Chain A
Amino acid sequence: MRLTVQHRTEYRYSQPIAYAIQTLRLAPRSNDGMAVLSWRVRGEGRSELPSFVDGFGNLTHCHAVNRPHDFTVVTVEGEVETRPGDGVVRGAIETLPTGFYLRMTPLTAIVPEIAAFAAEIGDRLLPVDRLTALMEAVRRRVDYRTGVTTTMTTAAEALRVGAGVCQDHAHLFIAASRTLGIPARYVGGYLWTGEAAPIEASHAWAEAYVAGHGWIGFDAANRTRPTEAYIRTAIGLDYWSAAPIRGVRRGAAEERLGVSVQVMSTQQ
């Protein structure tokens, strides 16, 4: 499936600020299930932004505006060719051993509630079945609702309030999977939602490692394994290491964020 992405993030400030900088993890790298045909990450009035590859293997761009400004914009334009698959990631760049992804982070801290939640999954024989059951359980326990959680919400908090967005589903899935001794990680990307109203074209899900299979994607928010509608852009231990945009600005002003994301299929 051929998918194009147009992603525009506008920053408007109530008065000029002196400086702003963003780290962007918005550029996919090809794997067996997805060929990146073209991809550009640009700042306002500039050609492509300087980039580097981070420790997880993510292509990372840096956008800095070092002059007084009350508006700036970051745009992403790209096209990929995806193939139908079973949600198993093959041929991706792997920089770190699977055992690394058993680490805890503040957002995926394992507290008694999460350990108890993971224990409810029961003793299914096959790890893949356990993970599928976990995905279902995460979605059952955490209702999809926006505005309840933030980027600072931990897996344990999302479980407690019983509501959240894809990021919270991913965190809870990851924390529980690691509790079960299964390496798991956070994935950020884009999702083509087809004819349906595009609720969340910027998306997040999880991957878990099962020996004999490899890294398998689990999108608990949508109760599915990733399909050809998914564009995988960044991986990390949790939201903070895979965040699509992390920014800091200098100057006292209110920020108004304008985000538009369009993921389209060009072969319909």
Chain B
Amino acid sequence: MPAVYADAFDETGLPGPCLPHYALIRRWLDETPRDFLLHKRREAELLFRRAGITFSVYSEGSDPERLIPFDIVPRILCAEEWARLVRGLVQRVKALNAFVADVYHEREILAAGKLPAELVLLNDGFCAEMQDLDVAASAYVHVAGIDLVRVGPNDFYVLEDNCRTPSGVSYMLENREAMMRLFPNLCAKHRIAPVSHYPEELHGTLQAVAPPGCTGEPVIVLLTPGAGNSAYYEHSFLADEMGVELVEGADLVVDDNLVFMRTTEGLRRVDVIYRRIDDPYLDPLTFRPDSLLGTPGLFNAYRAGNVTLANAPGAGIADDKAIYPYVPEMIRFYLGEEPILANVPTYRCGDPRHLAYVLDHLSELVVKEARGSGGYGMLVGPHAAAAERACFRAKLVARPENYIAQPTLALSTCPTFVENGIAPRHVDLRPFVLSGREVRIVPGGLTRVALKSGSLVVNSSQGGGTKDTWVLERLPET
């Protein structure tokens, strides 16, 4: 198996001359002894362990407090590349918000025949409880994690939109923190756009979407499922950074269709809830009756207009994999613009013609569950054994509508510190896009890297690692 795809685009410019924004890093990598890098990597691991950043993976037998591997070589984007991405991200997230608002009101996009009605109405992500509810600033997807992959100098694709409770932003922040401590001189020699104000931006976004009836400083809380959740570290980190209370469902109480938090000084009214609990568990009186994680009556208070939930319940309709192929159409429909960021061509296996093509080209395609996440239940055709492909073929034939397929993209590569020294590895990028009264993006995002030689799967649950992502305000002087 090759270390990387032969035709993969290397972001440093290889095999050609090194691109200017990577020049300093290239030289640094060439000049730094391997032992020093090894030493720094161990130091990084200590830093992360001390901070308590761990990620539990839902698979048996593994260390539940496993660290996501951190690669000490930064991934770099120049100002022009980033500016174009920002335009594309703002455009896409505006369209996604408009779509969710439309889906729970007039459904003009369905009336216009831009996408099949049953795809929305019968979708698991469609939440009828949201129908006709007007939310503050018409913002539904307050925090979006848009997964991007790159296949050429100017060719970025959106792999998927995450509109429910996207996580990973704490890694973006901690990775930067770690780089500044490990390599202060290297950082100082680059004009790296800061990311540390993300918690402030998130706080500002949440403040801006307080219910109309809220006068004065809105009280914001972060609602977590609890310490057992794989992203709990991030929940406590963000609450801390924003200076808001971290609460669990039982810390909140609903009375008179208002939400209160229990404090040592009694009950305190809550205006905005940044919730990291999934829709079905939010409120046993409206959603799953057996949920013990949420707060009974919470949705009633929301529906009565007395509290804001971010992200809005039902926002997941916008990131469903069966809806994804229609996002470019949404951009045209709601904004009257051509999409700046491209979609990956997608075959919907529920369509018999698409299914026939997919079955004929299994060895070239990536097949995903329409509702899966985390890289489970996925077939990477070119890498799969014949038996694995046969197994997926059977699944596809049995439940075609549950699957989509996409061409295997040769993800771009970045220099990465692996066993044999510095070598290219495939990466993706998840920028975090905030929507309140306006759209805000901190420069960069979370770069995930497939550490295994030849692997295209960057998910941390599947052996992926992360890198710091540098957006350079100016090219380095060399």
Contacts and interface: CB of A to CB of B under 8 A. Distances in A.
Given A21-B254, A23-B285, A64-B256, A54 B122 contact: no
A19 B297 contact: no
Interface string B116-131: 0110011000111111
B385 interface: no
A241 B129 CA distance: 9
Nearest to B294: A248
B286 interface: yes
Nearest to A152: B289
B128 A237 contact: yes
A52 B304 contact: yes
A10 B297 CA distance: 20
A251 interface: no
Contacts of A56: 128, 131
A62 B131 contact: no
Interface in B26-68: none
B461 interface: no
Nearest to B304: A52
A103 interface: yes
Given A21-B254, A21-B296, A97 B285 contact: no
A45 to B, nearest CB: 14
B257 interface: yes
Nearest to A60: B300
B255 interface: yes
B429 to A, nearest CB: 36
A240 B257 contact: no
Nearest to B284: A248
A103 B123 CA distance: 8
A96 B314 CA distance: 15
B177 interface: no
B227 interface: no
Nearest to A245: B285
Given A52-B304, A66-B253, A248-B296, A99 B121 contact: yes
B285 A55 contact: no
Contact of B122 (A23, A53, A103, A248): A103
B312 to A, nearest CB: 13
B131 A23 contact: no
- Name the residue in A103, A237, A247 with the highest tally of chain B Cβ atoms < 10 Å from its Cβ: A103
B286 A64 contact: no
Contact of B128 (A22, A50, A96, A99): A96
A74 to B, nearest CB: 14
B118 A50 contact: no
Given A50-B257, A60-B300, A62-B297, A99 B129 contact: no
B297 A23 contact: yes
B323 to A, nearest CB: 16
A145 interface: no
Contacts of A137: none
A8 B212 CA distance: 36
B117 A99 contact: yes
Interface in A16-41: 19, 21-23
B190 interface: no
Contacts of B255: 64, 66
B337 interface: no
Contact of A96 (B131, B285, B289): B131
Contacts of B130: 55
B133 interface: yes
Interface string A162-187: 00000000000000000000000000
Given A23-B300, A60-B300, A64-B255, A102 B128 contact: no
Contacts of A22: 285
Interface in A223-252: 237, 240-241, 246-248
Given A64-B254, A64-B256, A248-B284, A52 B303 contact: yes
A247 B285 contact: yes
Contacts of A50: 256-257, 304
B132 interface: yes
A21 B297 contact: yes
A173 to B, nearest CB: 20
Interface in A95-109: 95-97, 99-100, 102-103
Contacts of A240: 289
Nearest to A56: B128
A167 to B, nearest CB: 15
Contacts of B127: 55
Contact of B107 (A55, A97, A248): A97
Contacts of A62: 254, 256-257, 297, 300, 304
Nearest to A62: B300
Nearest to A183: B121
A57 B303 CA distance: 12
Interface in B229-285: 253-257, 284-285
B315 to A, nearest CB: 15
B125 to A, nearest CB: 12
A22 B254 CA distance: 11
Interface string B280-308: 00001110010000001100100111000
Interface in A76-123: 95-97, 99-100, 102-103
Given A21-B254, A55-B131, A56-B128, A103 B289 contact: no
Contacts of A54: 129, 303
A21 B121 contact: no
Contacts of B122: 99-100, 102-103
Interface string B122-147: 10001111111100000000000000
Given A60-B300, A64-B297, A55 B132 contact: yes
A71 B297 CA distance: 20
Interface of A: 19, 21-23, 50-57, 60, 62, 64, 66, 95-97, 99-100, 102-103, 237, 240-241, 246-248
11 contacts: A53-B132, A56-B128, A56-B131, A62-B300, A64-B256, A64-B297, A95-B131, A99-B117, A100-B121, A241-B128, A248-B296
Rank and list the top 8 A-B pairs by shortest CB-CB distance, nearest first.
A55-B131, A248-B296, A50-B257, A52-B304, A100-B121, A55-B129, A62-B300, A66-B255
Interface of B: 107, 110, 117-118, 121-122, 126-133, 253-257, 284-286, 289, 296-297, 300, 303-305
Given A55-B128, A248-B285, 17 more contacts: A21-B285, A23-B300, A51-B304, A52-B303, A55-B127, A55-B129, A55-B130, A55-B132, A95-B132, A99-B121, A99-B122, A100-B122, A100-B128, A102-B122, A103-B122, A237-B128, A246-B285
